[in-house]
Structures are given as structure tokens and as C-alpha cells.
Amino acid sequence: MSTISSWLRLSRAEHALFVFIAVVSAEFVSSRSFSSSLLLPAVGPALITLAAFILNDWFDIESDSANNRKDRPLVSGEINSNTAVLVSTLLYLFGLLFSAFAGIIPFLVALAFSIFSALYNWKLKKMPLVGNLFIALSMSISFVYGNLCVSPSLVFPVILFSCVSFLFGFGRELIITLRDVEGDKKAGATTLPMILGAKTTATLASLSIFCSIPLMFFPLTYSFSIVYLACVLLTAFFGLATIYSVVSSLENESLKRARNLSLVGMGLGVLSFLALAF
């Protein structure tokens, strides 16, 4: 029987939480004010994120089975695959409904992401580099969406952190791809490690994450904040720890550790952005 825990794991609920905080943070930073009205537009992207991850696992059942991913609820049988598709569809629809309240431009951004996330799960992730770039872009688009909810013009902090998120997210995606090579081969996917090799892909992932770190400190050059500095230092630490884990070993455990470290880094990065508002 499916449980709340199973659904949370299937939908990667932590990512939806990051998206929610990123959108609200971007609204806060862009408007320089906070009110409860900023919360409603952030619900849409969070629901769409849940939907996309559920659909991702539905398309990945074969690959995850080949990788013996018993931690995945659809592979272990904790959640019925047909039920998963139904829930994903409903989450997409409700996500778009909530996004419609934010205005026409944010709605179009949410609609475009919904369409491309479905295309990614179906085809794009089997293409080398294209899938990785899309996921990295999907991580940075949350900040842009939040900005557009309150202003038609993008503010500099949003542009900056969109770049940081893209670079960090791209590196993280390459790490995940490294871990899933065997299953991806059996599923007929052609990923970057299969073309460039594991070591080259690991180097590219490390460089992408490393390049995002100096950008995080740039806001301190025009406005010093001890809270922001503390958040950024922690984010940088987990980014560097991720890099060390990847370059030290390409064994599955090391890649798993790098994935988890980068997830913490992503969360701290979102909190760093929120600290800019103060």
C-alpha cells in the first residue's frame, strides 16, 4: 500500500519546497516588500514540480528497475503506476490553475515549463546534454517566474541567482547522470558520460559547480550582510564538498554522497537568495 512517505519520495517533495521558497524569495527581492499575496503564485510551480517528478519516475520504471532502484516507489510496487499518472496529471492542472492567478506572463512561463517537463520525461532526457541543460534551466526559472509575478522587468539579483542556480544545477545533473549510466544504457538513452566518459563528465560537473561559487559572493561587493555571508559560506562549503566527493571517487557511494551534498547546497542557496531581501 502506498503511504505519505512513498508519495513524498516519488514526487521529490523537497524540490517542490525549494521551488516554492525560490519563487517567494524572488517576489520578495523584486518588490522589496512581503505580504501573504506572494504565497499563492508560488503554489503553482511547486505543484508542477511534484507532477514532473512523478511523471519522470513513471517513464523511468524500466531504467530504475535495471539499476535495481528499490528505493523508487514505482519499482518497489509501493505506488501503482496508473495511479501515479493520474495524480501527476491532476497536479499539472492544479499547478497551472494557481499560476493563472499570477498573471498572463507567469502563467505562460508555467505552461511552457509544464510542456517541456513532459517532453523531457518522454524524450529529452535520453539525449546527451539537452536533458541536463533543461533541468538546470528549470532550476533557475523559479527565480525568473517569481520576479515576473511582481514586475515585468528582471532585477539584477534575480538574474545573478538564476545563473548561480543554472551552473550549480547543471553540475548536479551531470553527477546524477554519472550514477545512472548502466540503467540508461539498458533503457536506450544516450547520456553525456557515454560520449565523453566518466572522468571528463565528472570534471565538467565539478567545474560547473565551482564556477557558481564566486558568483554567490558578488552581492557582498555592493551591500554587506552578515546573514547573507553566513548562508553563502555554507552553500559554498557544500558545493566544494560535492566537488571533492566527485573528484575523489566515481564509485556509486561517492556519487550518491555527492548528490545528497549538492541537494543540501541547493537548499542553502535558496535561503541565501532569501537573505538578500534583508
Given a contact cutoff of 8 angstroms between Cβ atoms, the answer to whether 277 and 25 are in contact is: yes
Residue type, 104: I
The CA-atom distances, in angstroms, between 76 and each of 144, 147, 260 are 37, 40, 21
Please determine, for residue 134, whether its predicted confidence score (pLDDT) is greater than 80.
yes
What SS3 class is residue 123?
Answer: coil
User: What is the average per-residue pLDDT within 169-181?
Assistant: 88
Quote the pLDDT of residue 1. Answer: 47
Please determine, for residue 51, whether its predicted confidence score (pLDDT) is greater than 90.
yes
Confidence of residue 187 (pLDDT cuts 50, 70, 90): low
Confidence of residue 60 (pLDDT cuts 50, 70, 90): confident
The number of distinct structural domains making up the chain is 1
Please determine, for residue 22, whether its predicted confidence score (pLDDT) is greater than 70.
yes
Quote the pLDDT of residue 20. Answer: 94
How far is Cα 48 from Cα 117, in angstroms, rounded to an integer? 9
Please determine, for residue 176, whether its predicted confidence score (pLDDT) is greater than 90.
no
Quote the pLDDT of residue 80. Answer: 92
How far is Cα 242 from Cα 220, in angstroms, rounded to an integer? 24
CATH number at residue 42: 1.10.600
Quote the pLDDT of residue 61. Answer: 86
Please determine, for residue 232, whether its predicted confidence score (pLDDT) is greater than 90.
yes
pTM: 0.85
DSSP letter, residue 72: S
Higher pLDDT, 43 or 180: 43
DSSP letter, residue 125: G
Q: Express each pLDDT in 236-268 by its tens digit.
A: 999 999 999 999 988 889 999 999 999 999 889
Q: Express each pLDDT in 70-90 by its tens digit.
A: 778 898 889 999 999 999 999
Where residue 188 falls (left for φ over 0; alpha for ψ -120 to 50; beta otherwise) is left
Please determine, for residue 63, whether its predicted confidence score (pLDDT) is greater than 50.
yes
The winner for highest mean pLDDT among 94-98, 132-136, 139-143, 181-185 is 94-98
Please determine, for residue 2, whether its predicted confidence score (pLDDT) is greater than 60.
no
Please determine, for residue 136, whether its predicted confidence score (pLDDT) is greater than 50.
yes
Q: How far apart are the first and last CA of the chain?
A: 45
Query: What is the number of other CB atoms lying within 10 angstroms of the CB of residue 34?
Result: 12
Given a contact cutoff of 8 angstroms between Cβ atoms, the answer to whether 63 and 187 are in contact is: yes
- The per-residue pLDDT of the chain, averaged, comes to 89
DSSP letter, residue 124: G
The CA-atom distances, in angstroms, between 229 and each of 46, 76, 145, 170, 269 are 27, 43, 25, 24, 11
User: What is the average per-residue pLDDT within 132-147?
Assistant: 90
Q: Is 3 exposed, middle or buried (0-12, 13-18, 19+ CB in 10 A)?
A: exposed
Domain membership of residue 38 as a residue range: 4-275
User: What is the average per-residue pLDDT within 27-31?
Assistant: 88
